[in-house]
Amino acid sequence: MARVLITGAAGGIGIELVRHYLAVGDEVIAVCRDPGPGLSALRCERVDDADLTRAQGIERVATAVAGRRLDLVIHNAGLLRRDDYASLASAGADIRAQFELNALAPLLLTAALDASLGEGSKLALISSRMGSVGDNSSGNYYGYRMSKAALNIAGRSLAINLRERGIAVALLHPGFVRTPMTAGAGDLDPAESARLLAQRIAALDLASSGRFWHARGEVLPW
C-alpha cells in the first residue's frame, strides 16, 4: 500500500485521483481548501483550509505529514484565468495568481515535504500542454501558458536534483478534461483522465524521470 498525497482534491480531476487511489487500496492524504460534500463523503485523511498560495497553507500540509514517508505526491491544484493580448493591461493580478498556484506552489510544497521523500518516491506535476512552447500555435492565455511553462522547467530541475536520491518526477498533461476549469468542455471525463494519469505515474521510473507526458502516453514537446 502506497501513501499518496493529492492537492486540489475537492473536485475536478483531483477528486477522481483520490477515488482512484482509494479504490486500489492506497492510503490517500487529500489536500484542499474546502472539501465540499464530494470529498467529505470519501473515507480518507484530509488537510483542509490549505490555500497553497499562502505560506500557512503549505505549512499545514507539511505539519500534517511530518514524520511519514510519501510514496507519491500529485501536485494537481491549478488555476486558469482567461486573458488575451487585448486584455493584458488589466491582467497582471490574474497572471500573478496563476504563477503563485501553478508554478510556485508545487515547488514550495515539494521543498516543505522534502523530509517525507526518499528512495522510490514519485512526484507528479499536473501541467498542461498549454505550457508547451513548441505546441503553442494559437497564442493568448498568457498567464496560464507562462505559469505552466514555469512549472515545466521547475519540474525538469527537480528531476535532475532529486535523481541521486532515487526520486522520479513527471510532468503530466491530463488531456482536455470536462471539469469546472473548462466549464465542462473537453474530450475526457475526469475519472478517465485520473485513470490515465495513474497509469503514467505507475510507469514512471528514474529512466523516464524529467519528461513531459500526455496522460495517454506520448512525450510532449517543451
Inter-residue contact 197 to 6 (CB < 8 Å): no
Name residues contacting ligand NAP, limited to 31-70 (CB under 6 A).
Answer: 32-34, 51-53
Q: Are 60 and 107 in contact (CB under 8 A)?
A: no
Residue from the set 179, 194, 197, 198 that interacts with ligand NAP by CB under 6 A = 179
Residue with the three cell numbers 513527471? 170
Q: With contact defined as beta carbons under 8 Å apart, do 219 and 211 qualify?
A: yes
The nearer residue to ligand NAP, 64 or 206, going by C-beta atoms, is 64
186 binds ligand NAP (CB under 6 A): yes
Q: Does 195 bind ligand NAP (CB under 6 A)?
A: no
Report the side by side order of strands in the sheet with 168-173: 45-47, 27-31, 3-7, 72-75, 122-126, 168-173, 211-214
Q: Taking Cα atoms as reference points, which of 134, 141, 131, 81 lies closest to residue 106?
A: 131
**CB nearer ligand NAP, residue 118 or residue 182:** 182
Per-residue binder mask for ligand NAP (CB under 6 A), 121-140, x = binder = -----x-x------------
Q: Which residue lies nearer to ligand NAP by CB, 162 or 188?
A: 188
Residues with Cβ within 8 Å of residue 51, at least 6 apart in sequence: 33, 57
Closest CB to ligand NAP among 141 and 204? 141
Please say which residue, 44 or 80, places its beta carbon nearer to ligand NAP: 80
Which parts of the chain are beta strand (E)? 3-7, 27-31, 45-47, 72-75, 122-126, 168-173, 211-214
Among positions 64-103, residues that touch ligand NAP (CB under 6 A) are: 76-80, 101
| Residues at the site binding ligand NAP, with contacts judged by CB under 6 A | 8, 10-14, 32-34, 51-53, 76-80, 101, 126, 128, 173-174, 176-177, 179-182, 186
